[in-house]
């Protein structure tokens, strides 16, 4: 009896087995980034099915969520991946039918990239876009995906932070996009993440690889509220503060925490604080209070940056 989604000798995949294969949760417990990481979403699977309908023998696709492109061979049974591994059409069809998941392809089956955290009681998954995926935390996207995408969202944040050389504090790692972009200019980036489960998901995200590979990035697992208190005065030239919504991380919007951010920022240094759409009803309710508490903590020139959905402030 083959494992779920495993290719049986005859190459025939019973429909029920494939459905179970894609519903199964990936047990994301890899200690290091897998070298054979292949991840697909419906953005790749749908065009592959179209290529089959068009009678093509070769198709251009991406096996890393559109970070790079490659060619795969198509035949009656499915697609042939680089390295010779085969993926049955029934698995590709099941991935194509799923609008909200990214799937790790391994041993002929597709495993949804998602996990549940005992630490926080939250559910995490990778949610596809046409480019970089976002992280869903209990159903909430951690990057902008409406009228933009997580990559462009990240570029807007780091531009507002006006990154430069020196040491950068990234208070909330998530998928590591802000840390990765900051490390392109900074000498060192220290990034803090509360929930180790998010990092298990990030390890399976092709767009997060540099988070684990770039020697300029130091990762800390802990609560930023406690971890920031351990840094020396004026230790950072820039801070990117990209917390979840107030409802999920109220402490990270508190006057006490802002006082700590002010303490660890060097004079003349800059803070970018992500909030959400400043012109929305909820953003409009939150940002004036944030600005007021930042000023009370000693920050100057607290300025709304609506294009980046946040505020910048100077020490």
Ligand X SMILES: C[S@@+](CC[C@H](N)C(=O)[O-])C[C@H]1O[C@@H](n2cnc3c(N)ncnc32)[C@H](O)[C@@H]1O
**In this chain, which stretch among 6-14, 74-82, 89-97, 169-177 interacts with ligand X, using CB under 6 A?**
169-177
Q: Which of 24, 196, 225, 276 binds ligand X (CB under 6 A)?
A: 225
User: Going residue by residue from 181 to 200, which x/- string records binding to ligand X, judged by CB under 6 A?
Assistant: -----------xxxx--x--
**In this chain, which stretch among 12-20, 83-91, 243-251, 260-268 interacts with ligand X, using CB under 6 A?**
243-251
**Phi, psi dihedrals of residue 299, rounded to the nearest 5°:** -70, 145
Return d(Cα 188, Cα 36) in angstroms, integer: 28
**In this chain, which stretch among 4-12, 60-68, 174-182, 287-295 interacts with ligand X, using CB under 6 A?**
174-182
Neighbour-count burial for 252-288, b at 16+ CB within 10 Å, e otherwise = bbeeebbebbbbbbeeebbbbbbbbebeeeebeebbe
CB 227 within 8 Å of CB 219: no
Q: How far is the CB of 256 from ligand X (least distance, A)?
A: 13
Q: How far is the CB of 71 from ligand X (least distance, A)?
A: 31
Q: How far is the CB of 87 from ligand X (least distance, A)?
A: 29
Q: Which of 149, 188, 223, 277 binds ligand X (CB under 6 A)?
A: 223
Query: Where in 129-168 is the site for ligand X (CB under 6 A)?
Result: 137, 142, 154
Could you identify the residue written with the tokens 């690889």?
Answer: 209
Taking CB atoms, the residue at the shortest distance from ligand X is 174
13, burial (CB in 10 Å: exposed 0-12, middle 13-18, buried 19+) = buried
Q: Quick check: helix, strand or coil at residue 284? A: helix
Element of type H or E holding 255: helix 255-264
Q: How far is the CB of 277 from ligand X (least distance, A)?
A: 14
DSSP state, residue 298: T
CB 26 within 8 Å of CB 112: yes
Return d(Cα 166, Cα 44) in angstroms, integer: 39
**In this chain, which stretch among 64-72, 96-104, 170-178, 263-271 interacts with ligand X, using CB under 6 A?**
170-178
**Phi, psi dihedrals of residue 131, rounded to the nearest 5°:** -125, -120
# binding residues, ligand X (CB under 6 A): 22
Query: Where in 96-115 is the site for ligand X (CB under 6 A)?
Result: none
Residues lying near ligand X in the complex (CB under 6 A):
137, 142, 154, 172, 174-178, 192-195, 198, 223-225, 242-244, 249, 252
């Amino acid at each position: 009896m083959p494992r779920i989604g495993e290719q049986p000798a005859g190459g025939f995949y019973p429909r029920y087995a494939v459905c179970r294969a894609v519903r199964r949760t990936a047990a994301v417990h890899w200690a290091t980034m897998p070298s054979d990481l292949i991840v697909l979403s419906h953005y790749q699977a749908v065009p592959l099915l179209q290529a089959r309908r068009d009678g093509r023998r070769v198709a251009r696709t991406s096996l890393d969520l559109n970070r790079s492109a490659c060619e795969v061979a198509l035949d009656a049974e499915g697609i042939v991946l680089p390295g010779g591994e085969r993926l049955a059409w029934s698995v590709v069809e099941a991935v194509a039918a799923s609008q909200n998941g990214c799937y790790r392809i391994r041993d002929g089956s597709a495993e949804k990239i998602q996990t549940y955290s005992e630490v926080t009681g939250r559910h995490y998954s990778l949610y596809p876009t046409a480019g970089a995926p976002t992280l869903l935390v209990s159903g909430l996207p951690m990057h902008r995906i409406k009228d933009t995408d997580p990559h462009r969202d990240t570029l807007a944040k780091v531009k507002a932070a006006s990154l430069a050389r020196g040491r950068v504090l990234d208070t909330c790692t998530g998928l590591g996009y802000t840390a990765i972009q900051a490390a392109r200019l900074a000498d060192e980036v220290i990034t803090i993440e509360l929930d180790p489960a998010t990092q298990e998901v990030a390890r399976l995200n092709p767009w997060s690889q540099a988070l684990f590979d770039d020697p300029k990035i130091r990762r800390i697992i802990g609560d930023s509220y406690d971890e920031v208190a351990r840094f020396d005065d004026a230790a950072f030239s820039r801070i990117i503060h990209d917390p979840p919504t107030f409802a999920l991380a109220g402490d990270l919007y508190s006057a006490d925490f802002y006082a700590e951010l002010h303490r660890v920022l060097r004079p003349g240094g800059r803070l970018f604080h992500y909030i959400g759409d400043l012109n929305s009803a909820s953003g409009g309710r939150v940002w004036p209070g944030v600005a007021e508490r930042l000023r009370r903590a000693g920050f100057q020139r607290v300025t709304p940056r609506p294009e980046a959905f946040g505020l910048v402030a100077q020490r």
